[in-house]
Structure 1
Amino acid sequence: MPEDIRKNFSSDNVVRVCPEVMQALMEANDGSASAYGNDAYTSALDARFGEVFESEVAVFPIVTGTASNSLALSALVSPFGSVVCDESAHIQNDEGGAPEFFMHGAKIVTIPSGNGLMQPSALSHTINEKKAAGLLAPPIQALSLTQASEWGLVYQTDHLTSLSKVAHAEKLTVHLDGARLGNAIASLGCTPAETTWKAGVDVLTFGGTKNGAMAAEAVVFFLNDRTRPFVENFKRRIKRSGHLWSKHRFLSAQLLALLKNNLWLRNAQHANIMAQRLSTGLQALPNATLPYATQSNEIFIALPEHLVQKLEKGGFGFYRWPTPAGVDGTMIRLVTSFDTREKDVDALLDYIAT
């Protein structure tokens, strides 16, 4: 096998920074700039994101996805309130209690779905159930959705719209965890606006790190009557939490580079294409089962244990995953990225098939 094969399919977090973002960082490193977000790069974010999303926005760059989600929710939910999400959501399972910490103890309420895509009827049931409990249950004040979902599936825009309508009727604010939003948009073939504020999303966590940035996310408020009250003091939340960088320009420069010439969408489209190539090849293996369609850049596939061990011995990186009930074999997750090449995918498929 050629030595330059990239074998790590464990996450889109493990790859290098894309060249355009690295170039932007180098250019931002020239000379001095005002600190704490008062630089020209950060000042340009609202206008640039507004162009891309076709909306008036307030944008706050943050260094990590965990902090972005947690800070966004802290603005939307009172300490005595709660946020509802799918049971598979990152904020529930993978952020180490950070959302509850930032929300000063507010509760996370989860809804089972089986595939990471919440249903409007289940949301209505949960809201009504908590309302009926009165003071015994923290009031639900926000809905958090994940696009693409934790199982790599993508909400259709009408599905998002239906969920948002249920939430808004109950005066909930809608938050979207968009760590892989670019992959979802590339899969849907829609515009950024159509799968966000036009579908009822009020606040977006825009993912950059998984899509080519060194370390850059953003909390994006789509300005409307629900969100405007949250914006005024949001920068103080960032400062209080220790996430206001003195050299904020280096976060903003990465985000601007991703948005330039739709780099973020081109990166995501490439990652999706590589995922389809890998998924198709793996499905051809004997006794392989794909419980969830490959709609973004994550592949969840159950393989015979001996093939999983073979991949491990071959040095290929991936995560073992809980195998759904009724599925034979061992579930694994593989993730592609902007940096995945056809020869990387083909090397894995050739290796496991021999």
Structure 2
Amino acid sequence: MFFASDNAGPAHPKVMEALVAANQGYAMGYGADPIMEEVRAKVRDIFEAREAAVYLIINGTAANSVLLGTMSQPWQTIFCSECAHIHEDECNAPEFYTQAKLTLVPTADGKMSADALRTKILAEENRGVHGPQRGPLSITQVTEKGTLYSLDEIAALTDVAREYGLKTHLDGARFANALSALDCSPAEMTWKADIDTVSFGGTKNGALGVEACVIFDPDLAWEFELRRKRGGHLLSKHRYLSAQMQAYLADGLWLDMARSANARCAQLAAGLRGQNRVEMLFEPQANIIFFQMRRSEHKRMLDGGAVYYVMSGDPEIGDPDEMLIGRLVTDWSMTEEGVSQFLDLLRG
């Protein structure tokens, strides 16, 4: 009954097997290993982008930060949602790597609207040399509230960005979950919708620790390489990143794992809808559920062995009838039985 985070789930056995296989003998470092050539070609094929630059980094914070550093200048501001991961969960790493500021766009259900984005863009670059200049847009997909931008919503945001000459980055830590839920192609969710760079996540979806930075404008590639090295994220024994991504992409494993995680979330959501003591705050669309119920109910669940985050208060201390917000996340390894056990416990 572990629903704290998909970061807490195990790596897939095929990923671990690939690491063991890659550990034989010698291989050139810093991305010159032969496995990386296969990975680069596979990612380009998946995204239908033959000229895309593809690089691997060990975690999502670094992937987002180095990409945004490549896309922005220190005197600019990066536009993102008020609940974006780059704002809430990366300890100012994007600001550290870019030296730019973040401008937060208000959201509904965790998503920015085109109108809200335009309002924020218009509020910047109005004071000449004295104020921040407009920088790139960053979109989190899946959002931090477990909701999804539709393809039309992504295109509406990038249309606004293009109107003002701004590039767009997609934080795809849960890229596979979003893709599976939308039933579209990677190209449709990225460059065909005018996305310029993507943090293509593996860690939350069954890898040990690897993200692909996909850059659709080859002119940005060399600067990214320099920033990755300068930022301390060019792994010397790179083959262990390459091997993970190779196994992750082989035979559609990445999509199979995302579909499984999404299916368990749908099973969980269906069970929660039948409980009048529980209120879901957003319509679950991928593998994350936000809900609220009484403090006493949270305490009962946690004492009974359920593991998840209570986001808005201490479940141990306070009014037992106070409504507290909880978050449930399913990963690829969650089973139907695990979900059923949680729901049985909730029913009491």
CA shift at 1:131, angstroms? Answer: 2.8
Rounded to whole Å, the distance in 1 between the matches of 2:184 and 2:203 is 22
**Residue 66 in 1 paired to residue 61 in 2?**
yes
Rounded to whole Å, the distance in 2 between the matches of 1:144 and 1:259 is 25
Rounded to whole Å, the distance in 1 between the matches of 2:230 and 2:263 is 41
Rounded to whole Å, the distance in 1 between the matches of 2:223 and 2:193 is 26
CA deviation profile, 1:264-322 (whole Å, cap 9, x unmatched):
11100100000011111122112311120010000111112221111111121111124
Q: What amino acid maps onto 2:144 in structure 1? A: E
Q: What amino acid maps onto 1:290 in structure 2? A: M
Rounded to whole Å, the distance in 2 between the matches of 1:232 and 1:144 is 21
> Does the 8 Å CA contact 2:158/2:194 hold for their aligned counterparts?
yes
* Equivalences for residues 175-214 of structure 1 within 5 A: 175-214=169-208
CA deviation profile, 1:20-51 (whole Å, cap 9, x unmatched):
11111111111110011111112223211111
Rounded to whole Å, the distance in 2 between the matches of 1:81 and 1:55 is 29
**Residue 338 in 1 paired to residue 332 in 2?**
yes
**Residue 17 in 1 paired to residue 11 in 2?**
yes
Rounded to whole Å, the distance in 2 between the matches of 1:295 and 1:179 is 15
**Residue 134 in 1 paired to residue 128 in 2?**
yes
Aligned partner of 1:283 in structure 2 is 273
CA shift at 1:65, angstroms? Answer: 0.5
Q: What amino acid maps onto 1:97 in structure 2? A: N
Aligned partner of 1:3 in structure 2 is none
Rounded to whole Å, the distance in 2 between the matches of 1:14 and 1:275 is 16
Rounded to whole Å, the distance in 2 between the matches of 1:246 and 1:232 is 18
Aligned partner of 2:317 in structure 1 is none
Q: What amino acid maps onto 2:252 in structure 1? A: N
SS in 2 for 1:27: helix
SS in 2 for 1:17: coil
SS in 1 for 2:209: coil
From 230, 240, 251, the equivalent of 1:261 is: 251
Rounded to whole Å, the distance in 2 between the matches of 1:171 and 1:28 is 43
Rounded to whole Å, the distance in 1 between the matches of 2:301 and 2:128 is 52
Rounded to whole Å, the distance in 2 between the matches of 1:20 and 1:346 is 27
Rounded to whole Å, the distance in 2 between the matches of 1:12 and 1:133 is 43
CA shift at 1:94, angstroms? Answer: 0.5
What is the total number of aligned residue pairs between the two structures? 339
CA shift at 1:135, angstroms? Answer: 3.1
Rounded to whole Å, the distance in 2 between the matches of 1:60 and 1:120 is 30
CA shift at 1:132, angstroms? Answer: 2.7
Aligned partner of 1:102 in structure 2 is 97
SS in 2 for 1:142: strand
Pick which of 84-93 and 130-139 moved more. Answer: 130-139
Q: What amino acid maps onto 1:148 in structure 2? A: V
From 253, 271, 277, the equivalent of 2:261 is: 271
SS in 2 for 1:182: helix
Aligned partner of 2:287 in structure 1 is 297
Identity of aligned residues (%): 39
Rounded to whole Å, the distance in 1 between the matches of 2:108 and 2:323 is 18
> Does the 8 Å CA contact 2:53/2:218 hold for their aligned counterparts?
no
Gaps of at least 5 residues in structure 1 are 1-6
SS in 1 for 2:279: coil
* Equivalences for residues 299-314 of structure 1 within 5 A: 299-314=289-304
SS in 1 for 2:24: coil
Q: What amino acid maps onto 1:305 in structure 2? A: R
> Does the 8 Å CA contact 2:110/2:144 hold for their aligned counterparts?
yes
Rounded to whole Å, the distance in 2 between the matches of 1:45 and 1:165 is 31
Rounded to whole Å, the distance in 2 between the matches of 1:169 and 1:322 is 39
**Residue 221 in 1 paired to residue 215 in 2?**
yes
From 330, 341, 346, the equivalent of 1:347 is: 341
Q: What amino acid maps onto 1:165 in structure 2? A: D
SS in 2 for 1:130: coil
**Residue 316 in 1 paired to residue 326 in 2?**
no
Aligned partner of 2:144 in structure 1 is 150
SS in 2 for 1:50: helix
Aligned partner of 1:4 in structure 2 is none
From 19, 29, 36, the equivalent of 2:30 is: 36
SS in 2 for 1:270: helix
TM-score by length of 1: 0.93
Pick which of 36-45 and 196-205 moved more. Answer: 36-45
SS in 1 for 2:208: coil
Aligned partner of 2:84 in structure 1 is 89
Greater than 6 Å deviation, 4+ residue runs: none
